Structure 1
Amino acid sequence: MRVVNSLVERCFAVIELLANEASSMRLGEIAEKLDLQKSAAHRMLNVLCDIGWVEQEPVTGFYKLTLRLAILGQRFVSATHLTDVCQPVLEELAAESAELVRMAVVQGETLTWIAQVQGARNGLKYQPEMAARVRLATTANGRAYLSTLGQTDAIRIAISDSVDERQRRSMASVEDFIEELKLTRKRGWAISDEEAETGIVAIAAPIKLADGQTVGTVSVAGPSSRLTADRQGDVASSVLSTAAKLGELWPLRQRYNKESDLHAHKIGHSAHSTNSGI
């Protein structure tokens, strides 16, 4: 349960809740999960509906996000040029592994999916649920990220991220989890063998900059019938190589942004000069 106070915080809490659930919710459920009075939650939702962030289903009366948040998110990712720089490397890994490749970025103390490439050409194709946030305790990407943190922070974040009882049950004991993180840290990659999803194996590695900062994770995931134990070592090697490449390419997006800003400045200056000469 999360306690929210200020008006702005309440609005963002409603948006975050609806984004995490990715489905319509009834008023009472929203109020309960955010520890708000129904009347206060109703006022927040009315405001968000008026400005186009939330919509109410006419039949059920349930609330859900509009596409405005997704559109703004896509605009922001596009403006960072992150996918422009990283996409070819992800496509290369997808072609090599013939499985689903995904990349997530660090946002605060969690991970957010921002790119994926389907490499499976035939047979079973792993198509995960479209959720923005990465579950940290049970997924390979989450464990890869947590392995780069101190033990105390890693455990705290993992437990906090396991928001419901089902997820807490699926998380290993704290002792086993600590050992798993130690092993992940030693070999440089993490694995989730049907722990996040039945029948699915995923292998992930953290993306690090030259100064050691962890900025994201990259993974290969597919059916356990293909990502068998005798294949996991080769896939892990490819994932590690890709993570290293992404770490080297990551700073290039800053150059893209500077070049874009310079280009925009030149266009604006040229237009101003032209108008001045009329």
Structure 2
Amino acid sequence: MSGVLRTLGILEYLCTQVEAVPLAAIADDLDIPRSACHRLLVDLKNAGYVRQLRDHGDYILTTKLVGMGLGFLATSGIVDIAQTRLDRLAETSGELVRLAIVDGDRLTWVAKAQGALRGLRYDPDMGMDTILSCSATGHAWMQTMTDERALELVLKQGFGQPRQYGPNAPTTVKALLGFIHKARERGYATINEVFAPAMTAMAAPVQRRGYPAIGVISIAGPLSRLSEARMKELGPALLSAAAELAAASHASALFNRTS
């Protein structure tokens, strides 16, 4: 593996770590010789991407990488286009609303609005790639493509397992296709304890007529509030927001990275 790939691997690894991590753990988890891992970490530290909590101590990401990502999103115009619509849907639903965009074979959450003013607030990390098999966002994207293409993407990424996500996460092709087919019938996807225990979500593709989907807008919250009946009530508002985003998408180049 080249030094560039190892460096990127270290950055991706540290993105998943809340606490600082010892050199030995990074090297062992990534199967990189400790001497080589140390050299790469020194380079990343000198460039401002990681820091040590104390001299010769554990490593943690700085905010430089986050700032670069936020700067890219600001330059793309995606937040300016989407935020008002996300805020409106969050106010209507009283739950977390998020936007994911398609970038080739990936679907990444890039913007959000929180509608829950009290009680449990569901707010997972942004910037994550969507787990296609066990998220409403993934199902909504896959409803716009053939079953064969959907399965190709899921098999490439792998099925999310119930022990890591929700107890109803599909682990077979048949179960997954059941979710996708129902999403096609109603125009949007819904899940119940699939992405996480006691949580539900619904999502609709952002898609101009005759073109591939360019993103997905979703609503997520606790089952105690976002019940099956409540999701049915919110269906028209969700579809309306998706249609508005599709109509406005020409203003951002980031919405046109589907291939």
After TM superposition, the score normalised by the length of structure 2 is 0.85
SS at match of 1:88: helix
**Partner residue, 2:22:** 26
Native 8 Å contact 1:203 1:235 kept in 2: no
Distance in 2, matches of 1:52 and 1:94, equals: 36
Distance in 1, matches of 2:134 and 2:159, equals: 12
Give the direction of change, closer, same or farther, for the CA distance of 1:247–1:60 in structure 2 (3 Å limit): farther
Larger Rg: 1
Give the direction of change, closer, same or farther, for the CA distance of 1:163–1:138 in structure 2 (3 Å limit): closer
**Structure 1 or 2: larger helix share?**
1
Q: Which amino acid aligns with 1:137?
A: S
1:155 corresponds, among 151, 156, 159, to 151
The superposition leaves residues 88-135 of structure 1 with CA deviations (integer Å, 9 ceiling, x where unpaired) of 11111112112211111123322222211112234x242323242133
- 1:197 and 2:196 equivalent? yes
Say which is worse superposed, 142-151 or 165-174, in terms of deviation.
165-174
> Over aligned residue pairs, what C-alpha RMSD do you find?
2.5
Give the direction of change, closer, same or farther, for the CA distance of 1:162–1:20 in structure 2 (3 Å limit): farther
How far off is 1:10 after superposition?
A: 2.0
- 1:92 and 2:98 equivalent? no
Distance in 2, matches of 1:110 and 1:22, equals: 24
Higher relative contact order (CA 8 A, sep 6+): 2
Give the direction of change, closer, same or farther, for the CA distance of 1:42–1:59 in structure 2 (3 Å limit): closer
The superposition leaves residues 214-258 of structure 1 with CA deviations (integer Å, 9 ceiling, x where unpaired) of 22111111121121222221212221111111111111235xxxx
Sequence identity of aligned pairs in percent? 31
Q: Which amino acid aligns with 2:76?
A: T
Give the direction of change, closer, same or farther, for the CA distance of 1:230–1:129 in structure 2 (3 Å limit): closer
**Partner residue, 2:6:** 10
SS at match of 2:123: coil
**Partner residue, 1:258:** none
- 1:253 and 2:249 equivalent? no
How far off is 1:22 after superposition?
A: 4.8
Distance in 1, matches of 2:247 and 2:29, equals: 41
Gaps of 5+ in 2: 254-259
The number of aligned residues is 249
SS at match of 1:46: helix
How far off is 1:68 after superposition?
A: 0.3
**Partner residue, 2:256:** none
Give the direction of change, closer, same or farther, for the CA distance of 1:74–1:171 in structure 2 (3 Å limit): same
1:130 corresponds, among 112, 122, 125, to 125
Distance in 2, matches of 1:65 and 1:162, equals: 27
Distance in 1, matches of 2:210 and 2:17, equals: 36
Q: Which amino acid aligns with 2:78?
A: L
**Partner residue, 1:35:** 31
Distance in 2, matches of 1:145 and 1:30, equals: 34
Distance in 2, matches of 1:24 and 1:155, equals: 37
After TM superposition, the score normalised by the length of structure 1 is 0.79
Give the direction of change, closer, same or farther, for the CA distance of 1:167–1:110 in structure 2 (3 Å limit): farther
